[in-house]
Amino acid sequence: FQTVVFSRKTTQHGPDGEITDAFKRKLRDQEPSAQPPSPLASLVHQTDRHGKHSPHPQQHTSHDALKIMGTKFPGDEGKKCLVLDLDETLVHSSFKPILNPDYVIPVEIEGHVHQVYVAKRPGVDEFMRKMAEFYEIVVYTASLSKVRCTAFSTTICNAWYGDQYADPLLDQLDTHKVIRFRLFREHCVHYEGSYVKDLSLIDRDITQSIIIDNSPMSYLFHPRNAIGCSSFIDDMDDRELDSITNFLTEIRAVDDVRNHCHKWSPHM
């Protein structure tokens, strides 16, 4: 099946290594308070202001016009929806060279090409392949932390430079061609200074939707639908995806995932 991509195109760039004073000013200019919102973001923010968006999205009905995904692909009918974070959940990326990177993604920054070095979380290929048998696979990625001047955060790259970083990375990571939709920061809800991945916007049955993310803020609105994994940085002995695979295989046919997600443990 051909992957449907909901991707944002932007011309903003970011540095590697030490960040120049000029670019630090540029980053400040691009913070949420000053960043021009996308059409969807404007609608979401309008809902936030007038609907008094809270961590209880079921109280609001104005989200019906804000769905950010299409219908399921043929063959995915009846499958639950599995929403996956990218950075520190499936991969770890760095502008500093790492030993034996799985991928090297070129990113153009102010006219110069720099390299992003990517390490896959152990077991990610088999995890994606196996989960696609039982679940509709969606990648939903967003920036939830600020950049430090001495270590450029790839979550910033992911959020602001999706066309240069996240899309090429997912093209390579998706070896089995199982990712059905790609969602980025512009598809999140800006809530109390953070970006939340609102599952009520994806037009899927909430009782049949699961999100896996290393950041609890990402699933603030739907904690009962969440499996909170640990952050992957560089531990090549990490086997958390194996544990999640076993758990998700066990609950693939339950009536309501919200009664089961909390039972997962990395020690299962």
> Could you give the C-alpha distances from 33 to 5, 13, 15, 192, 211, in angstroms and in order?
27, 18, 21, 12, 27
Indicate the helix (H) or strand (E) that contains 41: helix 39-51
The answer to whether the CB of 117 falls within 8 A of the CB of 101 is yes
Q: Which of 21, 48, 64, 85 is catalytic?
A: 85
Q: Is 85 a catalytic residue?
A: yes
Residue 186, burial from CB neighbour count under 10 angstroms (0-12, 13-18, 19+)? buried
Tell me how far apart the terminal alpha carbons of the chain are, to the nearest angstrom.
Answer: 33
Closest CA to 81 of 134, 123, 7: 134
C-beta separation of 108 from 160 below 8 A:
no
234 is known as an active-site residue: no
Residue in 16, 87, 198, 213 annotated catalytic: 87
CB 61 within 8 Å of CB 52: no
- What amino acid positions are annotated as catalytic residues? 85, 87
